[in-house]
Amino acid sequence: MIKFESLNYPASKVSEKLCIFLLGLIFVSKISLKYLKVPRNVPYLIFQHGLHPYINFALNFFVGALILFYFVRRKRHHKFKHQYIFLLIITASVLLIQTLFQIAFVHPFNSWVLQFGGLVIALALIQIYGVMIPDIFSVDKFVKTIRNIAVPLVIISVCLIPVFNIQLFRGGRFIGVFKHIPHMVSASTFAFIFYFPQIFNPKINILKRYLTIFILFIAVFLTATKAAMITILIVSGVGVLTFGNKDKNTRIFKFVFVVLGALFFLLFGAQLTTFLYEVASGQTGFLMRPAQDGIATRMEEVTRGLQMFMEHPNFGQGILYKFMSKSGIDVGGYNSFKDPHNIFVSAGVIGGWPFMGVIIIGFILMIVGSFRGILKGDQSTQVAAIFLLSHIPVFVIYHVHLSLGGMGDRMYWLIFGYLALKLGESNKKSV
């Protein structure tokens, strides 16, 4: 058997390089080179002008297996919070049992191999991103790596607007160098959150700090995504109160920020509330995005999701239900209209009421963990906690994240793992 040490390179360094590779793949797998005239599709190689999902999955499994090899050989493992490990075991058990029931009673005529494959993908996502990478790769290195990848990609996207103009927009919404709007929304939001503490870093030129955060804000703004704007506003408010408390000038800045914020809402709060309601209800458009009644649309999707849930409330319809049709399972036939846009209903559709119960418990633990991480963690842990806290509204109106190829899915499980790890360590120190 080949040992990493025999190559005169420490095993820990090899595993960290592998972790960095997978963190980079989160973003690289969603980059589009359409503006460089790269073909839209080349079988098994290129999909929508970028990396094919098959390659993305293959790299995740291959590199994940290498990380697993190091993970099981480690002599020391960090201690995750017990509730987190227990929840992961329950999650895996419920998904396994429900998948077997679905194969036997819900979709007996669909491929059991594909249905079981969906389970394997979900479990691989949880193990690689929710356990192994947080255990091997420190939270400080994680935050720095994501910042060093996401921020340049978003800034490049904004800087390319004068050159490629309309090619970097879709439906009036900014997609930058990514394949779809949700990818740009995720990348720009991640970049803003992970860079935000840097605006209090005196080692960085003050112009560079504020110019960078302004460009990242513009990128999020141009996506015309209401949930993303709410997210970065939460990050800004909580972040200003959390980071940079030791510096006198920073404390003055925070005081001024809070006073100006209070004055703004006192003077313009009513008008802002009216505008937000008109945007949400479809009476007013947002930037170049056409007006859409988001409230009615979401309720229609939730109602449709409840109907799907009631079809098989005990067993659910499976992890791959969005790829299913009357003709079977088509891994390339993703149907976004089956998305209930509610995490609890989504859980019920996937795994019936047992999985819905698991997600409700997990959601409560997520809220508690985010607050504890902000209050008790170091700066990097606070970044992860604020990330999670700011995404709570997004979780409610989105779906359960079990896709090994999704940007958000991978990032969310990383954040879960890091917070559970740090809270577990803080409990150990307090004993």
Whether the predicted pLDDT of 6 surpasses 50? no
The per-residue pLDDT of the chain, averaged, comes to 86
Q: How far apart are the first and last CA of the chain?
A: 41
Q: Which of 13-27, 29-43, 144-158 has the lowest mean pLDDT?
A: 29-43
Instruction: Report which listed range, 32-36, 213-217, 270-274, 400-404, is most confident.
Output: 213-217
4: tokens are 């990493």
Helix axes 206-222, 139-159, angle to 10 degrees: 70
Q: How confident is the model at residue 284 (pLDDT cuts 50, 70, 90)?
A: low
pLDDT of residue 104: 92
3-state secondary structure of 243: coil
The CA distance from 199 to 216, in Å, is 12
- Could you give the percent of the chain with pLDDT greater than 70? 83
The DSSP element (H or E) to which 120 belongs, if any, is: helix 112-127
C-alpha angle 402-322-110 in degrees, rounded to nearest 5: 105
pLDDT of residue 257: 67
The DSSP output letter for 290 is P
Q: What average pLDDT does the segment 143-160 reach?
A: 96
Residue 260 CA to chain centroid, in angstroms? 31
- The CA-atom distances, in angstroms, between 331 and each of 54, 175, 187, 325, 328 are 10, 24, 25, 11, 10
Q: What average pLDDT does the segment 384-412 reach?
A: 90
CB within 8 A of 292, min separation 6: which ones?
Answer: 282
Whether the predicted pLDDT of 141 surpasses 90? yes
The CA distance from 385 to 398, in Å, is 19
pLDDT of residue 27: 97
Q: How confident is the model at residue 1 (pLDDT cuts 50, 70, 90)?
A: very low
Q: How confident is the model at residue 7 (pLDDT cuts 50, 70, 90)?
A: very low
Amino acid identity of residue 389, one-letter, is: L
The DSSP output letter for 403 is -
CB within 8 A of 50, min separation 6: which ones?
Answer: 29, 30, 31, 32, 33, 38, 179
3-state secondary structure of 42: strand
Q: Name the residue with tokens 């939730």.
A: 302
pLDDT, tens digit, for every residue of 202-241? Answer: 888 989 999 999 999 999 999 988 889 889 989 998 988 8
- Could you give the percent of the chain with pLDDT greater than 90? 52
pLDDT of residue 299: 79
Phi, psi of 137 (to 5 degrees): -110, 120
